[in-house]
Structure 1
Amino acid sequence: MRTVALAAAFMLVVFLLVTWAVSYQMVSHARQDRKQVQAVYVASKEKELRHYVELGHATLARIAQGSGEQAALQQQVLAALSRMHFGNDGYFFVYDRFGNVLLNPGSMGIDGVDFCDPADTGSEQARMLINQAHAGGGIVRYNWIKPSSRAEAPKMSYVKTADHWGWIIGAGLYMDDIERELAAFDANAARTLRDTQIRLTALAIGSVMLISLAWLAWNLRNSRISGEKLRRLARRVVSSQEEERARVARELHDGVVQVLVSSKYLLETAQVHLEQDTEKAPENDVAKDHRSRRLAPQALLAQGLGRLQEALVEIRRVSHGLHPALLTDLGLAAALRMLVEQLCPQRAVDLRFTEQGFIPALSQAQRTALFRVAQEALNNALMHAQAGWVQVTLAGGAHHVALTIEDNGHGFDLNKVRADGKGGIGLRNMRERIESLEGSDFAMHTGPAGTRVEARLRLPQPEPDSTIRARPDPALGHLPPARRPAA
């Protein structure tokens, strides 16, 4: 669950960063595109106005070159220009050289627009137009009443001074259509940004869902694998318990029980003899026969006591195999030496135990794991390998301990045993015991020339300024050297 939360948080951060970056880029591009569109529209309007003014100027020049009085020609020009409308709200306006309005919307029949009232030729808009015309002509921007809507709107006009009569001819176009186009462009950009954000959100949600589904599938798979491992482990534990119980049962039946049964028979026989001696008085027997009859129960009792002593020894051996007291009291070396010495009289195999180097202090878990490995390896070598000799070596140093069990038996197929799910429990138990310890290695080599099992523990190094020294194994220097049969 923590992994999914981290992945979701990471996806959220990535989504926010990507959304911010995309939104920033889109807004930046939209602003640049808006400026370009606005520039294109304005340039188009300026070009259109220049064209209209040039057309009006050409009309004025054509009529002014005609014959007739100047006043009549001027009226003819004004009449022609008043009829020249363009667009819905486009018209010409004309000033004379003194700044008086000669042509205005009222005279053109355009209602609602009183551009540059003749009675107020000093208005701000009129002054802007006249000054721009005297400066050589050009574009003038201002706000004015739009005839179609009777509302104030931004307007752009182009003015130019005519060569004939010194008139100023101008034409204007309202810019609210450009504002509408730019508003539509902004709305489209906002809609595109919103759609992009929605797509990114859907992508993020889909990604989180895919991660969640992948995690769910992975979790289910791991659950199945873990369940199968637990089932195999449970079967292995049960099998190991059953094998251990069977071994203890065999040890008790073949050793302790047989000794106790024979002791029981001997004691019962001695009891019968004593009862018979008590019931029968030795009236006519000579002294020698009487002594022999009394010695017979004593011999049986002595044999029974001896068998009971053997039973005690056998029980101690079985108990030592289950958990040797020496392992806790005197350490690993003493327990291994005792294990080898107990097996020597029972097997026609040359068993050897050797200590090498300094054996540092080990924890209870480490001592137990190495002892069980030695038990299992010796059991395999004595029961299955048909070995002539088995060498157990415990070697150590300041920071490591190594246990080696080597024999000259016929070996076995290690790969086949590993592939067998039901067999090889002892080998797996050895490996798992060692690998469960930190800083440990387990290796096994087998072949026709014999088998070698090696377990190695790497012990942590003390701090440089530490004064604590590893306590030597208590068994060192207190036990006689291991029996080393002649090779």
Structure 2
Amino acid sequence: MTIRMRTLALSAAFMLVVFLLVTWVVSYQMVSHSRQDRKQVQAVYVASKEKELRHYVELGHATLARIAQGSGEEAALQQQVLGALSRMHFGNDGYFFVYDRFGNVLLNPGSMGIDGVDFCDPADTGSDQARMLIAQAHAGGGIVRYNWIKPSSRAEAPKMSYVRTADQWGWIIGAGLYMDDIERELAAFDANAARTLRDTQIRLTAFAIGSVMLISVAGLAWNLRNSRISGEKLRRLARRVVSSQEEERARVARELHDGVVQVLVSSKYLFETAQLHLEQAPGKEAIRDAKRDPKRDPKRDPDQPAARESPPAGHAPQALLAQGLRRLQDALVEIRRVSHGLHPALLADLGLAAALRMLVEQLRPQRAVDLRFTELGTIPALSQAQRTALFRVAQEALSNALTHAQAGWVQVTLAGSGHHVALTIEDNGHGFDLKKVRADGKGGIGLRNMRERIESLEGSDFIMHTGPDGTRVEARLRLAPPETETRARARPAPGLRHRPPARRPAA
């Protein structure tokens, strides 16, 4: 799996985790708000029921007070009150109940024509509801909650009753409402909240899946686009490498043809001339011809080449051989120069400064330019890659300055300190248009090679300034502190332990 695919997979996984967390947070918030809303709705329903019950009981108490103020016997008035209360129904299952001051039942569902529902009688064993109602009434009245048989369904249901005492005869009058309708409303509210939560989760999940798919498609398109761009870059790089190789081969061929080959050809001519001198010495030619064909007259040989005639006078064989040896020595020097340009041995043996100094000394006689090299400070130890990169930058910059800049002087400076190395090549030539060269995809290969060589090293900078007054190329390297390097070298490799040196046996 490529880095881009891993990045895409990690991004998709991260987005999926984020959406799961968002879904959980939203679900938790919705459930919390739903519970709070349910409590508020329940409180509103209960408050409404309590208010309704108070209204009914106050209405029954007002009826009792109005009849009790009438004329007639008390027993008749009491029967009239009970008859009026028994006819006062509210809702499907609402009715009044009445106790006297001693806790005896005066009005019950049976006397109201409600079948299947008994009234709680304090005299019955285990009738805690009646005692709760009477105790609450004597305590000043209020709400009492308990479970009782609902007339319409003949099933037990939660009920809320309101009781109070009547001042005329000390009766306890009350009314009750069943709470199962509130439970149904709350159940419907819970179902609606669950449906809303489920719909929200489905929408979030669909949105998360759509987002992940969109990210995947976008990442795939981005990966394809980057693959095309990378492929194009690789093709350009391959063409650049091939072009660089061809340029290097052309340079080496040119160096060999213009230098080494010419010297070798001249040496060959001198040796051949010396050979003719030796072969045409007195007595040698006759002996040679006799050995070749004793019956043949050399003066009448039609195959004798014209070039084998007597060499010019004044060229002794010893002088020609000496001159040929000098030319061979020059060829060796030229070969060493070309070899040093390809891979300087001094770079590995004596360091970067010595290799740069030799490069400048070799180029100085070939050009009518004031070519100088300066070493400043102490050059720290560099790796092979760092030395090679800086040397190649110096080679390319010097080649450009000596070939294209038409400069009067070129200065090469190598400066160093404990943690920094800076190589500067500057000249006073006419410069060039840097933006145009960078924009040209076919040209400027040397500049790109210099920049890429330096930027491939860690902690490096490549700076170039050019203009009508000259060109300045600077390569800087930031090195690790010596103590850090010492600790790094002293640190044992993972999995290895320091072992003391083995003792040699005594002689």
TM-score bracket for this pair, using the shorter chain length: 0.7 to 0.9
What's the secondary structure of 1:89's corresponding residue?
coil
Whether 1:228 and 2:232 are equivalent positions in the alignment is yes
Alignment-derived partner of residue 449 in structure 2: 429
Which moved further from structure 2: 266-275 or 290-299?
A: 290-299
**Partner residue of 1:260 out of 257, 261, 264:** 264
Whether 1:462 and 2:482 are equivalent positions in the alignment is yes
Alignment-derived partner of residue 255 in structure 2: 251
Alignment-derived partner of residue 360 in structure 2: 340
Q: Distance in 1 between matches of 2:430 and 2:311?
A: 59
**Partner residue of 2:106 out of 102, 121, 129:** 102
Deviation of residue 242 (structure 1)? Answer: 0.7
**Partner residue of 2:61 out of 41, 57, 61:** 57
Greater relative CO (CA pairs within 8 A, separation 6+): 1
Deviation of residue 76 (structure 1)? Answer: 3.7
Alignment-derived partner of residue 330 in structure 2: 310
What's the secondary structure of 2:202's corresponding residue?
helix
Taking the TM superposition and a 5 Å limit, the aligned residue runs for 1:294-443 are: 300-443=320-463
Contact 2:97/2:174 (CA < 8 Å) preserved in 1? yes
Contact 1:359/1:397 (CA < 8 Å) preserved in 2? yes
Deviation of residue 148 (structure 1)? Answer: 1.5
**Partner residue of 2:31 out of 27, 33, 39:** 27
What's the secondary structure of 2:466's corresponding residue?
strand
In the superposition, the TM-score normalised over structure 2's length comes to 0.80
Q: Distance in 1 between matches of 2:126 and 2:254?
A: 130
Alignment-derived partner of residue 199 in structure 1: 203
Which moved further from structure 2: 427-436 or 315-324?
A: 427-436
Which moved further from structure 2: 220-229 or 118-127?
A: 118-127
* CA offsets 1:399-418 (integer angstroms, 9 cap, x no match): 33333323332222222222
Q: Aligned Cα RMSD in Å? A: 3.4
Whether 1:161 and 2:165 are equivalent positions in the alignment is yes
Deviation of residue 92 (structure 1)? Answer: 2.0
What's the secondary structure of 1:280's corresponding residue?
helix
Describe the shift of the 1:237–1:292 C-alpha distance in structure 2 as closer, same or farther (beyond 3 A): closer
Amino acid at match of 1:418: R
Amino acid at match of 1:39: A
Q: Distance in 2 between matches of 1:19 and 1:31?
A: 18
Q: Distance in 1 between matches of 2:71 and 2:312?
A: 185
Deviation of residue 243 (structure 1)? Answer: 0.4
Describe the shift of the 1:181–1:384 C-alpha distance in structure 2 as closer, same or farther (beyond 3 A): same
What's the secondary structure of 1:463's corresponding residue?
helix
Alignment-derived partner of residue 483 in structure 1: none
Alignment-derived partner of residue 280 in structure 1: 286
What's the secondary structure of 1:241's corresponding residue?
helix
Describe the shift of the 1:281–1:18 C-alpha distance in structure 2 as closer, same or farther (beyond 3 A): closer
Q: Distance in 2 between matches of 1:116 and 1:363?
A: 103
Identity across matched positions, percent:
90
Give unmatched runs, 5+ long, in structure 2. Answer: 289-309, 489-507
* CA offsets 1:55-94 (integer angstroms, 9 cap, x no match): 3333334444555554444444333332322211112223
Describe the shift of the 1:109–1:247 C-alpha distance in structure 2 as closer, same or farther (beyond 3 A): same
Describe the shift of the 1:462–1:292 C-alpha distance in structure 2 as closer, same or farther (beyond 3 A): closer
Whether 1:450 and 2:470 are equivalent positions in the alignment is yes
Which moved further from structure 2: 241-250 or 343-352?
A: 343-352
Q: Distance in 1 between matches of 2:384 and 2:447?
A: 21
Contact 1:99/1:121 (CA < 8 Å) preserved in 2? no
Amino acid at match of 2:423: L
Which moved further from structure 2: 386-395 or 376-385?
A: 386-395
Describe the shift of the 1:121–1:163 C-alpha distance in structure 2 as closer, same or farther (beyond 3 A): farther
Whether 1:176 and 2:180 are equivalent positions in the alignment is yes
Contact 1:101/1:121 (CA < 8 Å) preserved in 2? no
**Partner residue of 1:116 out of 95, 115, 120:** 120
Contact 2:104/2:121 (CA < 8 Å) preserved in 1? no
Contact 2:274/2:321 (CA < 8 Å) preserved in 1? yes
Alignment-derived partner of residue 295 in structure 2: none
Which moved further from structure 2: 154-163 or 114-123?
A: 114-123
Describe the shift of the 1:256–1:157 C-alpha distance in structure 2 as closer, same or farther (beyond 3 A): same
Amino acid at match of 1:251: E
Q: Distance in 2 between matches of 1:281 and 1:467?
A: 80
Amino acid at match of 2:342: L
What's the secondary structure of 2:480's corresponding residue?
coil
Q: Distance in 1 between matches of 2:446 and 2:122?
A: 119
Contact 2:146/2:160 (CA < 8 Å) preserved in 1? yes
What's the secondary structure of 2:463's corresponding residue?
strand
